[in-house]
Amino acid sequence: MQVLLPVAALLGLPAAPVAAQSLPGPGHFAVALSGFQTAAIAAATDGPSAGEGRVLSETELEVSPLRRTKGGTLLGARGVINLTAATGRQTSSWRAAIPEWSVFASGTFGRIEVGERAGFPQSLVGFTPSEIALVSAPFGPVGGTRLDPDGRLPTRALPGPLAARVNALSTLGYAARFYADRSAKAIWVTPRTRSGFYGAVSYAPTVRQRPGALLGQGGQAALPLPAQPRRKDLLQAAAVWNHRSADLDLTLAATWSHVRELGVDGRWRGLGSVSGGVSGTLHDTWAFGLSAGIDSRAPTGGARPYGVIASLDRVSGPWTVGGYVQHARAARRDGVPGDDTLDVIEGGASLQIDRNHDLLGAGRYTEARVFVAGYHFRLATNAPQPEPVQQGLVILAGAQFSFF
């Protein structure tokens, strides 16, 4: 993750060049910095929020003090500061938080990490390209809210209640449920074998609805999260196999999760979820992905949740063009009986501005891109009381600067 110098002032940081991120040698100490700044304009051209354009901004900085022992083990800590803001014709809001923190050790045993963070390190999930989340939108931002399935950047242009219903389904097919949970947990990532296999497992004793630390917020108050049952004993696992040749990079992967949740009858019941698929890159030009997921049962009854996603992208020099389609179905979570069915088609393009990846100098890896995208959604329900199908098109244009 990565940061733009003018944005440092927004976070109370000095607007001076940051030290290059590097791994320390044996017996030495270093501080690694990474971050990003995303700015976008999003507007729905039709549907329930037609004509309501919004200016969106997100800034994130990750700080990681590191020390290498004389035996070669890397010890470290990481903390993330995130600032989001949105401005529309009638409302505006901002929020600053520390969404993740952790301590870790990495060596021949793999990587062991403890803290409040998502279930798998970014090498596995949540950072494009990902070897667990097998479908992506590489023409969009590479961190934070993104254009990927379940990336949630397009839905920031939708009314809150509608966005919540869409977001509740967009996870399905992307990765196993709770992959983005940031409750306190312990994580182990295995070393990669010579044949290309590696895995990960994590455990959280308690699932918190709002983990992390809120630093401040203003403007329009965020909508309260729908009431969720108490959950505990969240176990997550992942398995990955990579194969690389001169013409094809191929990845097969699967994620699994299981949690115990308290029912209205006072009994604890298990809820499982599994997702998997394939992704590949052909001749360093064509990238494809196909993934599907299903839950063991609906948390509130109704249809068994499932989702399917397929993506196709082409890279040509500084240009990336592509898109994805998604179909998902699950029980509604807004207290209304019935099931929601979501269909999404997204397409977009991006242009790399920083082809040398060295805008900050001193060997820092940087990336700067501009992007445009169209996100069409169709949300239907089979609730006992007939409701109209909600659908619309969100147009986005923006830019992101990142470094790591």
Give tens-digit pLDDT for 81-132: 999 999 988 788 899 999 999 999 999 999 999 999 987 765 443 333 455 6
Cβ-in-10-Å burial (0-12, 13-18, 19+) of 42 comes to: buried
In DSSP terms, which residues pair with 272 in a beta bridge? 258
The rounded distance, in Å, linking the Cα atoms of 220 and 367 is 32
- Distance of CA 193 to CAs 126, 190, 240, 289, 398, Å? 23, 9, 11, 23, 40
Residue 8 has pLDDT above 90, yes or no: no
**Which parts of 75-221 fold into alpha helices (H)?**
160-170
Taking the CA atoms of 68, 366, 78 and 256 in sequence, report the sign of the dihedral they define.
Answer: negative
Residue 293 has pLDDT above 90, yes or no: yes
Tell me the pLDDT band of 391, cut-offs 50, 70 and 90: very high
Radius of gyration over alpha carbons of the chain, in Å?
21
* Residue 298 CA to its chain's centroid (Å): 23
Q: Tell me which of 82-91, 200-209, 334-343, 366-375 is least confident.
A: 334-343
Residue 11 has pLDDT above 80, yes or no: no
Rounded to an integer, the average pLDDT of 266-285 is 93
Tell me the pLDDT band of 2, cut-offs 50, 70 and 90: very low
Q: Which tens digit of pLDDT belongs to each residue from 221-262?
A: 455 556 678 999 999 999 999 999 999 999 999 999 999 999
According to the model, what pLDDT value does residue 67 have? 95
The rounded distance, in Å, linking the Cα atoms of 372 and 221 is 29
Q: Tell me which of 45-59, 74-88, 276-290, 362-376 is least confident.
A: 45-59
Q: Which pairing describes strands 29-44 and 110-116: parallel, antiparallel, or unpaired? A: unpaired
Give the 3-state secondary structure of residue 166. helix
What domains are defined for the chain? 5-403 (2.40.160.10)
The rounded distance, in Å, linking the Cα atoms of 258 and 269 is 10
| Mean pLDDT, the chain, integer | 85
- Distance of CA 166 to CAs 4, 42, 153, 180, 379, Å? 31, 16, 12, 16, 7
Q: Are 366 and 354 in contact (CB under 8 A)?
A: yes
